[in-house]
Structure 1
Amino acid sequence: MPNFMKKTLYAYIFKEIPTPFLVGMVTFTFVLLMGRFLKLAEMVVEKGIPFSDVVRMVAYLLPPFWLFTIPMALLLAMLLAFGRLSGDSEITAMKSCGISLYGLLPPPMLFAACATLACLWVTVYAVPWGNSGFKKLMVEIAQSSAGIAIKEKIFNNAFPGMVVYTQSLDTKAQTMGGVIVHDERDPRTPTTIFASTGALVSDPKSNSMEFQLRNGSIHRAEEQGGYRMVQFQEYNLRVALADGSNKATRKVSEMTLDELLHPPKGTQQKEIISRDLEYHSRLALPFSCFVFTLLAIPLGIQNRRSGKAAGFSLSIGVILLYYVTLSAFDTLGERGTLPPLLAGWSPNLIFLLAGAYLFKKTSDEERLPIFSLYPRLKEALRGRLSKGRKR
């Protein structure tokens, strides 16, 4: 085939991918964000959080989601694109012109390379920025609106080592009624405080919050097995808020790749394993774009005329299977059964081998067992339904 015809063909195949990819990105991102929307709406309506802060929260939440939605959207795009080409017999026409299935690989692999680079940028820069930025923003909101961390008639554990319960809460006035505070910050002397009323006061300068309690009692267990009760008219309890900029308190999801790879001296072995797992998982997920592409091409071609709904269902099934495998190997890595390198990359290797097998079967024009089994199940189901109607 002349070069200009090959370029035209490659451009034609490449143009099939972006539209379903963007649709998949929007759909999957929206589905993942839906679980957060109700909580964000509650912050605006009940807690009076400015809408601009909610928009910032969404912006910080997007990068960790993109790390998953980019490969997911790519899988869906490849399934729909090659399903459409196969359904319209264009794959058959290309083969009749002497183009093998391997000859159709450059356009989807080029798009997969672009998706992998985008995913690598997300995992190296955007994910640590989003996770740490979200944590800092929540601290800022807690400092400006103390009641954001507390809900009435619920045992709240938003403060480390403490459980707070309030019968009533006025979020605007930052006042409480019927307050119970169980303080275990010092495990040697756990304390329970009862107060009829109280107020919440935040102190941004000291990065803390103060409970100004009135008319209550303090119940404290002593080290030697004793017990002490003190009644008060006014009692101020200060609580330090978590500092989002403190590297010592950051989670592994908030760290950069360099911080994950080079833990400080004295880090416990369990923490080192957790860092190594996060490091390899972050690198493995972007390269799943190539794995999904190789897997989706034969599945899309053999899906044929089943339509977009079947392509979407098939993509969901593959995604669920992949992330179940990912979770299983992650658990093996956390337990120390597998080294972090093997635990992080094994799902990609397994699905890559499966994709290579399916690709070869499709290239040899052999029907995949999964698509041969589906019509049989469909006919068997119809037979049972018809027998049921006759009865």
Structure 2
Amino acid sequence: MMLLLFVPIGITVDLAEKVGRIIENDAPFGEVAFYYLNFTVYFANLLFPLFLFLSVIWFTSKLANNTEIVAFLSSGVSFTRFLRPYIIGATIVASFAMFLGMYLAPIASQGFNEFKFKYLRKNKSVQQTRDVYQQINDNDYIYVSSFSPKTNSGQNFTYEHFEGNELKYKILADNIRFIDKDSAYQLTRYIKRSFDNGVETVEKENRIQMDLPFELEDLTPVEYAAETKPYGELLDFIASEKRKGSKNIGRYEVVKLKKWSLPTSIFILTIIAVAVSSVKRRGGMGVNLALGISIAMIYVFFDKVFGVMAGQSSLPAVVAVWFPNVLFGILAVYLLQNAKR
């Protein structure tokens, strides 16, 4: 019910903000409708624990205001027994949230991001185009200072081939361009330096066309690639990116770990909600809702700040993702003990 109430509001606010760009860029109605279908799944997945949190506060406060919880506990039933249906419900919701996050949300994320970059952010690149450094396999490395997906060309290209720890040859070019009809790369002001038993040979060409052992996608990795992959494919993708030396590993690890931390947060927030709202307060349900929303906003703040820190700094992804859950898990235990008393 909370999803049915709030998601349409979110769609209305988002449409009001973006309708000008949608009309300006002539987005077809079918694609707009499909975008908002993906929008619903994408954001419902992100906000699932918070909607459950507010729902639990709402109906538990109703029970408390009607003095039903006092009567329940006065009959000799323990608070743990009172909490049991909440945990069963949280388990059902967490199972659905895990399935949603691992399999359905990646599909929605693909459509959501494709529409956003096609019609709403046309001047922004969907791909990483600056300082691309990749390890292609165990022996080969590439680097390009900038790459344009529109022209399939890049500047300051370097290709290095190792055997063991020994550099066998190095290719440098001022410009690299992918020739689609030939499925080959054209290098301008090409230099190849080869090393054999300490002897260096240099080969130069003003322009040369050649096959190189990497795909065009290796020069233009998509920024949101990890979000669009089901869990099994995500694990393979992260392993591949680690071999390539991608600088976005922190961001990818955050996406992976959130698939487990989000269902866990459902249990933590459920316990906090029950502990906060099971006490009858003078201000009634409004006080419980205000307190609950404050806790929810603090949780979202920690979750977003630490998620960004993992993607932009050396902070380990496991710390960034799990710190809010650990912190609020401690808070849940404390509030639960007080509620029992």
Q: For the superposition of Structure 1 and Structure 2, which TM-score range results when normalised by the shorter chain?
A: 0.5 to 0.7
Aligned equivalents of 2:30 and 2:108: distance in 1?
16
Hey, what's the Cα distance between the residues in 1 that align with 2:258 and 2:94?
A: 14
User: 2:240 matched to 1:288?
Assistant: no
Matched with 1:368 is none
- Say which SS state the counterpart of residue 279 (structure 2) adopts: helix
C-alpha contact (below 8 Å) 1:277/1:333 kept by paired residues: yes
Indicate the residue corresponding to 1:321 in structure 2: 298
Residues 1:46 and 1:269: Cα distance change in structure 2 (over 3 Å)? closer
- 2:38 pairs, out of 48, 60, 64, with 60
Instruction: Specify the SS of the correspondent of 2:76.
Output: coil
Q: 1:257 aligns with which of 231, 243, 249?
A: 231
Distance in 2 separating the partners of 1:318 and 1:25: 19
**1:342 equivalent in alignment to 2:328:** no
Instruction: Measure the CA separation in 2 of the matches of 1:157 and 1:325.
Output: 28
Q: Distance in 2 between matches of 1:260 and 1:158?
A: 22
Query: Alpha-carbon deviations, 1:54-112, whole Å to 9, x = none?
Result: 21110111222012222111111111121111111111111210012111011111111
Change (3 A) 1:83 1:304: farther
* Paired amino acid for 2:70: T
Q: How does 1:205-216 map to 2 (within 5 A)?
A: none
Distance 2:318 2:300 in 1: 17
Counterpart among 70, 77, 81 of residue 48 in structure 2: 70
1:142-187 CA-to-partner distances (Å, cap 9, x unmatched) read 6xxxxx877xxxxx4468799xxxxxxxxxxxxxxxxxxxx99756
Is the alpha carbon distance of 1:157 and 1:284 closer, same or farther for their aligned partners in structure 2, counting shifts above 3 Å?
Answer: closer
Find out whether 1:87 has 2:65 as its counterpart.
yes
Q: Quick one: which of 326, 332, 337 aligns to 1:355?
A: 332
List aligned pairs for 1:1-391, cutoff 5 A.
22=1, 24-42=2-20, 45-137=23-115, 156-157=123-124, 248-249=221-222, 251=224, 252-262=226-236, 263=238, 264=240, 266-268=243-245, 270-302=247-279, 304=281, 306-334=283-311, 337-364=314-341
Q: How far apart are the structure 1 equivalents of 2:308 and 2:282? A: 39
Identity of aligned residues (%): 20
Q: How many aligned residue pairs are there? A: 258
Q: For 1:71 and 1:99, how far apart are their aligned partners in 2? A: 28
Deviation per residue, 1:17-64 (Å, 9 max, x gap): xxxxx1x22344244434421255335655543333221110111222
Give the distance between the partners of 1:79 and 1:109, measured in 2 at CA: 14
My pick for the range that moved more, 304-313 or 87-96, is: 304-313
Secondary structure at 1:77's aligned position in 2?
Answer: helix
Question: Where do 5+ consecutive residues of structure 1 fail to align?
Answer: 1-21, 143-147, 151-155, 163-182, 189-205, 207-222, 224-242, 365-391
**Alpha-carbon spacing, 1:334–1:46, altered in 2? closer, same or farther (3 Å):** closer
Q: TM-score, length-normalised on structure 1?
A: 0.57
- Structure 2 distance, partners of 1:338, 1:352, is 21
Cα deviation for residue 117 of structure 1 reads 1.2
Q: CA deviation at 1:273?
A: 2.3
Deviation, structure 1 residue 349: 1.6
TM normalised by structure 2 equals 0.65
Structure 1 position 325, deviation (Å): 1.5
Higher RCO (C-alpha under 8 Å, 6+ residues apart):
2
- DSSP-derived class of the 2:77 partner: coil
Q: Secondary structure at the match of 1:49?
A: coil
Given that 2:65 and 2:285 are in contact with CA atoms closer than 8 Å, whether structure 1 keeps it comes out as no
Contact 2:257 2:318 in 1 (8 A): yes
Shift in alpha-carbon separation, 1:359–1:247, aligned structure 2, 3 A: farther
RMSD over aligned CA atoms reads 3.5
1:308 Cα deviation after fit: 4.0
Instruction: Tell me, in whole angstroms, the C-alpha distance in 2 between the residues paired with 1:87 and 1:68.
Output: 31
The whole-number CA distance in structure 2 between the counterparts of 1:45 and 1:338 is: 41
Q: Distance in 1 between matches of 2:105 and 2:40?
A: 9
* Residue number in structure 1 paired with 2:184: none
Letter in 2 for 1:301: S
Asked if the contact 1:112–1:290 (Cα under 8 Å) also holds between the matched residues in 2, the reply is: yes
Deviations 1:96-144 (A, max 9, x none): 10012111011111111111112111111121101112344568x76xx
